[in-house]
Structure 1
């Protein structure tokens, strides 16, 4: 996310003629940073660049989230979306996702992610719910420890951003069985989507949105949207995002708001059915 924020900040700096500074405020799954913007003056000068977890999932996953995205923030643009890649140990006697699910119904299997509550974890939960099987989640403290754990054969499968997993797939150290995008990814066209394994409704992309505090004047929102659209449509800028394994979205304020509302409801149901809760 930090890399995407800096790409956008550099591009916007040239467009608006003044510095656009990235200030990282990590913690609590993105709650601290998003809350700071939700409570900032609505003048269009303090914005949030946040992902699916902080914007849509935390509403239901984290008790007493101090903001309501639908009430306290105004979307400007959804910039890009990156699917999750599901890989399994090459030593497992399976060649595809259907085979992995069948094996999980026969014996206990585990999957690792970068931590609880993020897009990788929720992808696994949604897959289990839609396919009707179980596997044990093993949360690591970040993507790098998760990859190390997978390569050390601590877990049977791993769900992460394709950027960190694809090198290991190409080296034969991991077997890619599915990607969670609605259609096959241009970055890995050889990898089938989850629906091709006969499991519908598992479309998960870690999307990134630019948001302003609620109450920001509509003309300022429109101005920021137009600048963002023109900037993100530049091929050299779009390529910086797609090189991360995702796709450009570039949806405007109204479409972004409707999409985020739907995502909040979608993940609330997944959290409820999975009995999930962040401490």
Structure 2
């Protein structure tokens, strides 16, 4: 056997375990990390898609909620997990494009993750607490201008898209309102319901039950067109703020170094799960639009979104340095 043949034989021996692992993947439970508390949009999406993935793979998909730092803590847990496909995450724009632009985070988005697929997109809805004396955008802006620095807006954490949405509202409307960050959408909504804060831009799914119950008042939807689930709520363009377009998104990631064959399997299973008619309808009922794409397309999408929000962060003066 010549030197080249020996080298090829050695490489084959080294690759055999990885190939065997990819061929029988998955053969044990998959941990799906959600970097926000239970009850928020990230959690809703993960549970709907994860349950169907479990049925497809015949292996449990276990939801692991790890809230904190606007999604950074849970996202970092994915980055530091073994690259074998058994620990993955469904994360939002905040932890992949916004927080890394605003501040130093413990991971490098371009090096520490293997993008799997974009899962869903969802517009942000601006709502106010029931005790706020404003029924539309013009009244809300007038109220804020009459009381500079007195009104608060909640977010799901510093650096999340709801935070940037509030900052963009401040810039667009020329108002002075104070940011109050929470550890996820659910606690932010609790204080909105309790009238501890006055307003918030949050993902449509978690707001719908409270809008339908009349406990929160919708002001505008940050999307190009009205949502089928809230047809009476005008878009930000319709209320005279066409630049106030706020759309969140959620995508599936794995740790960098996860074998391409396993990433491909996760992509196939995730896309099959999210496009299941029942799952798709349940997501649509929540105001979510199923996306789905290839790992390569998702990587490019992350890059484009990072550039877009970097411009907003710079204009709002939110970058804290790295």
For Structure 1 versus Structure 2, the TM-score category normalised by the shorter chain is 0.7 to 0.9
**Offset of 1:153 from its aligned partner?**
4.1
Once the two structures are superposed, the pairs formed by residues 93-242 of structure 1 within 5 Å of their partners are: 94-108=134-148, 109-140=151-182, 142-242=184-284
Contact preservation (8 Å) 1:98, 1:198: no
**Offset of 1:208 from its aligned partner?**
1.4
Distance in 1 (CA, whole Å) between partners of 2:207 and 2:61 is: 31
Worse-superposed segment, 23-32 or 202-211: 23-32
User: Which structure would you say has the larger RCO, counting Cα contacts within 8 Å and 6 or more residues apart?
Assistant: 1
Contact preservation (8 Å) 1:185, 1:246: no
Distance in 2 (CA, whole Å) between partners of 1:20 and 1:168 is: 29
| 1:272 aligns to 2:318 (yes or no) | no
Distance in 1 (CA, whole Å) between partners of 2:65 and 2:195 is: 33
Residue matched to 2:52: 11
Worse-superposed segment, 250-259 or 106-115: 106-115
Residue matched to 2:5: none
Worse-superposed segment, 185-194 or 202-211: 202-211
How many equivalent pairs are there? 278
Contact preservation (8 Å) 1:50, 1:208: yes
Distance in 2 (CA, whole Å) between partners of 1:15 and 1:165 is: 30
SS at match of 2:238: helix
- What residue ranges of structure 1 are gaps of 5+ in the alignment? none
Q: Please provide the CA RMSD for this pair.
A: 2.8
Give the TM-score of the pair, scaled to structure 2: 0.75
Contact preservation (8 Å) 1:84, 1:180: yes
Distance in 1 (CA, whole Å) between partners of 2:67 and 2:300 is: 26
**Offset of 1:164 from its aligned partner?**
4.0
Structure possessing the higher radius of gyration over alpha carbons: 2
SS at match of 1:264: helix
Worse-superposed segment, 268-277 or 52-61: 268-277
Give the TM-score of the pair, scaled to structure 1: 0.85
